[in-house]
Amino acid sequence: MVIAIIGLLTALVVPAVSSISRSYQMTSAGHAALNALVQARQAAMTKGYPVQVRIYKLPDYNQPNSGTPSVYRALQAFVEGDPISTGGTSSAPLTPLSKASFFSSPVQILAAKSSLLTLPAVSSPEETLPGYGRNYSYVSFRFKPSGQADISASTSGIVLAFSSDSQSGSLPDNFRALEIDPVTGAIRDYTP
């Protein structure tokens, strides 16, 4: 009888714990992305230099780090220094604002629902990314010293969801959307 009661309680508790764990993963990834964007905007305004935000496309969670980049699942911000001209080209030195924020499995950015991912991609990066070397690509945008973002209203958002929920054409039940106002740079956070 005792074993039957323990079995029944276990059967009732396991789905609840699984649901709580998934919610925590989504909340954690959403907070990491939101904090990185807010920190990048604030750094641009306080330091007086543009801050570049990169959204990284990496191999899927179930692939080795040497696999083909296929999923957007990390981001990082860099402070751009004064431009340096060499050989007729001009480039700004980049200083990482913080370490890259990698989302924990199975959270990823939905490519089909994230307009920021339509920005031009860099597929042959010069910098190495810890754990991936140069096996990644990224899209990027900048927060200006005024706080504005150098994006348009049509390319201003990302949607985070679980990889298992990303197959359908509509938004899944559990997601997190972040939208950047290009004029003010303010970041809005939407959850269902």
What is the domain range of residue 177?
2-190
Residue 71 DSSP SS3: strand
User: Counting every residue, how long is the chain?
Assistant: 192
Could you identify the residue written with the tokens 């939101």? 34
* DSSP letter assigned to residue 136: -
Per-residue pLDDT band for 90 (boundaries 50, 70, 90) equals: low
| Residue 67 pLDDT > 80 | yes
Provide the CATH number for the domain around residue 127.
3.55.40.10
Output the six-digit token pair for 77. 């911000």
Q: For residue 15, is it left (φ>0), alpha (ψ between -120 and 50) or beta?
A: alpha
Smallest Cα–Cα separation from 77: which of 114, 112, 113, 45? Answer: 45
Q: What's the structural domain count of the chain?
A: 1
Q: Is the dihedral of CA 121, 123, 86, 147 positive or negative?
A: positive
Rounded percentage of the chain residues whose pLDDT exceeds 90: 52
pLDDT digits (tens, 9 = 90+) for 4-33: 888 877 777 666 556 667 777 888 899 999
pTM of the full structure: 0.85
